[in-house]
Structure 1
């Protein structure tokens, strides 16, 4: 079983930054970048958990909810990845860190 702590840590840091960000920062693109990341994490989790089912798209719940959406999607993926390869986990951590950099560039 893989230790998914690095993914959870990266997701939590990104989500915390979003929750603390002012509305103006969220509206300048941080929220859109985070929603795209949350949707991607959710899709990855769904593909692992139910590869034969069409993945559902995470809805846009607004700029102030995107931190929570990211945290939920990241934790769902972490659970799904516990039995996956370390390559998939490393890729997910890298993806989250790059998305956070883009959101707050």
Structure 2
């Protein structure tokens, strides 16, 4: 079972790739996105939305700070999610994840394994999305 540290490492590797990417590649289109930077921003927004939901916070806008900030925005969102999953100990509220409204099926205290099961599930999805974006933006 993955640790939040695994998410931090994966996000940092991908963020570093975006930070080092030349402008022509950064602004180049990839399937489903007008640019690699837009793909990174979309992932950052999804990670940030889940982090807010885990923390029980209301959804907020995640600004587009421009193509050259995509790596930094991705790193911040990934670190926030890892921190939220590490501290997870309260009920999960409905959240939009990957453009889909999701509600986790049980309150954390009602599940025999508690928050660890929920955190592991969210972490697994986040790691898969980071890997998919990394593959998309090669």
State the TM-score, normalizing by the size of structure 1.
Answer: 0.89
Q: CA RMSD in A?
A: 1.4
* 2:59 matches 1:41: no
Query: Bigger relative contact order, structure 1 or 2, given CA contacts below 8 A and separation 6+?
Result: 1
Deviation at 1:101, TM superposition (A): 1.2
Q: Contact 1:43–1:57 at 8 Å: present in 2 too?
A: no
Q: Work out the CA distance in 2 between the residues paired with 1:13 and 1:95.
A: 14
Q: Which aligned pairs between 1:1-105 and structure 2 lie closer than 5 A? A: 3-28=3-28, 29-50=35-56, 53=58, 55-82=59-86, 83=88, 84=115, 85-104=119-138
Distance 1:37 1:91 in 2: 12
Q: Which has the higher helix share?
A: 1
The two structures have a TM-score, normalised by structure 2, of 0.69
For residues 20-47 of structure 1, the C-alpha deviation after alignment (integer angstroms, 9 at most, x for no partner) is: 0000011111101000000110001011
> Please, which runs of 5 or more residues in structure 2 have no aligned partner?
29-34, 89-114
SS in 1 for 2:10: helix
Task: Decide which structure has greater strand share.
Answer: 2
Deviation, structure 1 residue 81: 0.9
Q: List gaps (5 residues or longer) in structure 1.
A: none
Larger radius of gyration: 2
